[in-house]
Structure 1
Amino acid sequence: MSESKLPRPTDAELAILRVLWGRGPSTVREVHEALQDGSGYTTVLKLMQIMTEKGLVVRDESQRAHVYSSRVTQQKTQHQLVVDLVDRAFGGSPAQLAMQALSAKKTSPEELAELRRLLDSLEQEVEP
């Protein structure tokens, strides 16, 4: 399965992926302990088995305790989710998404400076 064709992760799957992105390759027990969301061990195990079948994670079975890792980077997953959201909810307009996102929550001065740098670089790409 190619990375561009991976299924969109559910909220529970995203929580597991965030643990794997932060910790790196991990056992089910390590993911379960890191989640601290009240999910039972067997629920996390089943979710990770499903994620393996879907191609979201890969499982290393060479050790007694299987070790899971994300198949795709956090950046690629976020990119795929944003593209999907822009298309589905904002009619393909990234500007509409950005305006909604910026009006929904307070943005730090550091984040605003980073956004200004990004906008400046995007403007330079467009100028002839």
Structure 2
Amino acid sequence: MANPKYIKPTESELEILQILWHKGLATVREVHEELCHTKDIGYTTTLKLMQIMHEKGLVKRDESMRTHIYQASVNKEHTQKHLLSKMIESLFGGSSTQLVLQALGNDNHKATPEELEQIQKLLDDLKKN
């Protein structure tokens, strides 16, 4: 099986991983029901995606019972850091400053006052160190 830390999940695989990271353990049916809240997708498509993800090493599958139980086999934070690093390199020429400026200046995703407070705290902490 491939080493999951080098696998770049597709957008659909990331949606499934988000569900599994939130739930911990889930059946295909449970994942499918969550996906149906945001997109029109067939059960067999969800099943096939999860089977492919298992083959890639992105998820683990407990086959000890009739209904298979899935869980993410890749760490959420590690995956976020890996994908963010790739995005910074490819879209922002390696500049995290450009990423932050773009994110905070984006009219479609305005930061809440609470998020701005968290960002300010992080900046203050970074300045201290």
Q: TM-score, normalised by structure 1?
A: 0.91
Greater Cα shift, 90-99 or 72-81 = 72-81
Partner of 1:85: 87
Residue aligned with 1:68, SS: strand
Residue aligned with 2:61, SS: strand
d(CA) in 2 for partners of 1:20, 1:114: 26
Partner of 1:107: 111
Partner of 2:45: 43
Matches within 5 A, 1:1-80: 1-5=2-6, 7-36=7-36, 37-80=39-82
d(CA) in 1 for partners of 2:3, 2:126: 29
Alignment RMSD: 1.2
Q: Structure 1: state its 5+ residue gaps.
A: none
Residue aligned with 1:25, SS: coil
Partner of 1:119: 123
Count matched residues.
124
Residue aligned with 1:85, SS: helix
d(CA) in 2 for partners of 1:3, 1:59: 15
The Cα offsets for residues 18-67 of structure 1, whole Å up to 9 and x where unpaired, read as 11111111110110111112211100000001111111111111111111
CA contact (8 A) 2:5 2:79 kept: no
d(CA) in 1 for partners of 2:34, 2:4: 26
Q: Structure 2: state its 5+ residue gaps.
A: none
Residues 53, 3 of structure 1: CA spacing in aligned structure 2 closer, same or farther, 3 A cutoff?
A: closer
CA contact (8 A) 2:59 2:70 kept: yes
CA offset at residue 3 of structure 1?
Answer: 4.5
The Cα offsets for residues 79-108 of structure 1, whole Å up to 9 and x where unpaired, read as 111011001111111111011011112111
Letter in 2 for 1:11: E
Residue aligned with 2:105, SS: helix
CA offset at residue 2 of structure 1?
Answer: 4.0
Residue aligned with 1:19, SS: helix
Residue aligned with 1:106, SS: coil
